[in-house]
Amino acid sequence: MAKRKLSKQQKRRIDSLQKSRIKNEQQDNAALDESNTLTARVISHHGRQLFVETEDLSKIKCKIRQNLGDIACGDYVLVQQALDTDGQKKSGESQYVVVAIKPRKNLLVKTGFAGAVKPVAANIGQLVIVTALKPKPNPYLIDRYLIAAENLPADALIIINKVDLLDDETKKIVDDLTALYQGIGYRVISASIKQNTGLDEIAEALSNTTSILVGLSGVGKSSIVKAILPKEEIKIGETSEATGEGKHTTTVSALYHLKDNGIIIDSPGVRDFTPINNSIDEITYGFKDVRQFSGGCKFSNCSHTNEPGCAMKQAVAEGKLNEQRFNNYLRMVQEFNEKE
Ligand X SMILES: Nc1nc2c(ncn2[C@@H]2O[C@H](COP(=O)(O)OP(=O)(O)O)[C@@H](O)[C@H]2O)c(=O)[nH]1
Cβ closest to Zn ion, residue 154 vs residue 297: 297
Which lies closer to Zn ion via its Cβ, residue 252 or residue 315?
315
DSSP state of 254: E
CB of 162 to ligand X, least distance (A): 4
Minimum distance of ligand X from residue 220's CB (angstroms): 3
Contact 155, 127 (CB under 8 A): yes
In Å, how far are 71, 183, 219, 247 from 237, measured between CA atoms? Answer: 21, 36, 19, 15
Which partner from the list ligand X, Zn ion, Mg ion, none does 302 bind, CB cut-off 5 to 8 Å by kind? Zn ion
Cβ closest to ligand X, residue 80 vs residue 161: 161
Binding partner of residue 194 among ligand X, Zn ion, Mg ion, none, CB under 5 to 8 Å per kind?
A: ligand X
Compute the least distance from the CB of residue 307 to Zn ion, in Å: 6
127 is a contact residue toward ligand X (CB under 6 A): no
Q: Is 247 in the site for ligand X (CB under 6 A)?
A: no
Q: In the set 110, 194, 288, 291, which binds ligand X (CB under 6 A)?
A: 194
**Stretch touching ligand X by CB under 6 A, among 6-14, 18-26, 140-148, 187-195:** 187-195
Q: Which of 197, 222, 314, 324 binds Mg ion (CB under 5 A)?
A: 222
CB of 269 to ligand X, least distance (A): 14
Q: According to DSSP H, which parts of 31-156 are helical?
A: 139-151
**Amino acid, single-letter form, for residue 338:** E
Give the whole-angstrom CA distance, residue 165 versus residue 62.
Answer: 46
Q: State which of residues 62, 302, 321, 333 lies at the interface with Zn ion (CB under 5 A).
A: 302
Stretch that binds Zn ion, among 6-14, 139-147, 159-167, 300-308 (CB under 5 A): 300-308
Choice between 193 and 263, CB closer to ligand X: 193
Which contacts qualify for 63-70: CB closer than 8 Å, 24 or more apart? 63/94, 63/96, 63/97, 63/98, 64/97, 64/98, 65/28, 65/97, 65/98, 65/99, 66/28, 68/98, 68/99, 68/100, 68/101, 69/101, 70/118, 70/119
Whole-number Å distance between alpha carbons of 97 and 69: 14
Beta carbon of residue 297, minimum distance to Zn ion (angstroms, whole number): 3
Q: Which of residues 208-237 bind ligand X (CB under 6 A)?
A: 217-223
Q: Which of 21, 232, 11, 255 is nearest to 120 (CA)?
A: 255
- Cβ pair 272, 288 in contact under 8 A: no
Q: Which residues of 25-167 form beta strands (DSSP E)? A: 32-46, 49-54, 59-64, 76-82, 96-101, 107-111, 117-122, 126-132, 155-161
- Work out whether 164 is an interface residue with ligand X (CB under 6 A): yes
Sheet holding 187-190, edge to edge: 187-190, 155-161, 126-132, 210-214, 263-266, 254-257
Tell me how far, at minimum, the Cβ of 182 lies from ligand X, in Å: 21
Cα gap 250→280, rounded to integer Å? 36
Based on CB atoms, which residue is closest to Mg ion, 221 or 313?
221
Give the whole-angstrom CA distance, residue 274 versus residue 195: 29
44, 131, 151, 161: which one binds ligand X (CB under 6 A): 161
Query: Which residue from 41, 162, 221, 304 is in contact with Zn ion, where contact means CB under 5 A?
Result: 304
Residue ranges binding Zn ion (CB under 5 A)? 297, 302, 304, 310, 312
Residue ranges binding Mg ion (CB under 5 A)? 221-222
Residue ranges binding ligand X (CB under 6 A)? 161-162, 164-165, 192-194, 217-223
